[in-house]
A and B are shown apart, each in its own frame.
Chain A
Amino acid sequence: MAAPQNLKYTADHEWVRVDGDVATVGITDYAQSALGDVVFVELPDLGEVTASSVIGEIESTKSVGELFAPVTGEIIEVNDAVVANPELVNSDPYGDGWLVRVRVAELPELLDAEAYEKLTGE
Chain B
Amino acid sequence: MSDRLSPLHEVHAAAGAVFTDFAGWQMPVRYSSDLAEHKAVREAAGIFDLSHMGEILVVGPGAAAALDYAVSGRISALQPGQAKYTLLLNDAGGVLDDLIVYRTGEDRFLVVANAANAGTVAGELRGRADRFDAQVHDESDDVALIAVQGPRALEVLLNTEGFALDGGHPDGEDVADALSSLRYYRALAGNFNGSAVLFARTGYTGEDGFEIFVSPDAARALWGALVEAGAPFHLVPAGLAARDTLRLEAGMPLYGHELDAETLPVQAGLGRVVDLGKPGDFVGRAAIEKGPAPEASVLVGLRGEGKRAARADYPVRDESGATIGRVTSGALSPTLGFPIAMAYVAPSHAAEGTVVAVDIRGTAHPYLVTPLPFYKRKKTS
Interface residues of A (CB under 8 A from B): 33-34, 36-37, 39-40, 57, 59-62, 64, 90
Contacts and interface: CB of A to CB of B under 8 A. Distances in A.
A34 B34 CA distance: 11
Interface in B218-271: 241, 244-245
Contact of B307 (A40, A62, A90): A40
Contacts of B35: 37, 39, 61
Interface residues of B, number: 19
A36 B332 CA distance: 13
B137 interface: no
* Chain B contact surface mostly: mixed
B187 interface: no
Of the candidates B30, B36, B334, the one having the most CB atoms from chain A within 10 angstroms of its own CB is: B30
Nearest to B36: A37
Give the 6 A-B CB pairs with smallest separation, nearest first: A40-B307, A37-B35, A36-B34, A61-B34, A39-B332, A37-B34
Given A36-B30, A39-B35, 15 more contacts: A33-B18, A34-B18, A36-B29, A36-B33, A36-B241, A37-B33, A39-B309, A40-B307, A40-B308, A59-B307, A59-B308, A61-B331, A61-B334, A62-B241, A64-B309
8 contacts: A36-B18, A39-B307, A40-B307, A59-B307, A61-B35, A61-B331, A61-B334, A64-B309
Interface string B18-55: 10000000000110011110100000000000000000
B74 interface: no
A9 to B, nearest CB: 20
B311 interface: yes
A59 B29 contact: no
B36 to A, nearest CB: 8
Given A37-B34, A39-B307, A62 B332 contact: no
A61 B241 contact: yes
A112 B371 CA distance: 52
B34 A62 contact: yes
A27 to B, nearest CB: 16
A67 to B, nearest CB: 13
Interface string B265-292: 0000000000000000000000000000
Nearest to B337: A39
Contact of A59 (B33, B38, B309): B309
A122 B307 CA distance: 32
Contacts of A39: 35, 307, 309, 332
Contacts of A34: 18
Contacts of A37: 33-36
